């Protein structure tokens, strides 16, 4: 049973990295086009709230793969959010 749990934990960690990477094409598109008209800030603020709660949950449960996965997700999601805010003000 421990082997199966380790396999699931490994795939979970990998999936968190993939999830973080999924924000990068959006950030690239916003940066290249210098436009954030197709970005929903409500959605990205929601992502940040969920990721912050995931970080806290991981920290308090001592699940550091969840904690660091959510940190990385928050950073990459933050790229999109910051760029969207920057180009909305211009």
CB 48 within 8 A of CB 81: yes
Neighbours of 11 (CB within 10 A): 10
Structure tokens at 29: 């598109």
Which domains, ranges and CATH numbers included, belong to the chain?
2-89 (1.20.1280.290)
Note the pLDDT tens digit of each residue in 4-23: 988 998 899 899 999 999 99
**Which pLDDT band holds residue 69 (cuts at 50, 70, 90)?**
very high
Note the pLDDT tens digit of each residue in 21-64: 999 999 999 999 999 888 899 999 999 999 999 999 999 999 98
């Amino acid at each position: 049973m421990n082997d199966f749990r380790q396999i699931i934990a490994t795939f979970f960690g990998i999936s968190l990295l993939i999830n973080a990477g999924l924000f990068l094409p959006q950030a690239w598109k916003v940066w290249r086009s210098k436009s954030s008209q197709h970005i929903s800030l409500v959605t990205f603020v929601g992502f940040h709230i969920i990721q912050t709660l995931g970080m806290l949950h991981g920290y308090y449960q001592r699940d550091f793969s969840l904690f660091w996965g959510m940190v990385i997700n928050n950073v990459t999601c933050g790229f999109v959010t910051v760029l969207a805010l920057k180009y909305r003000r211009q």
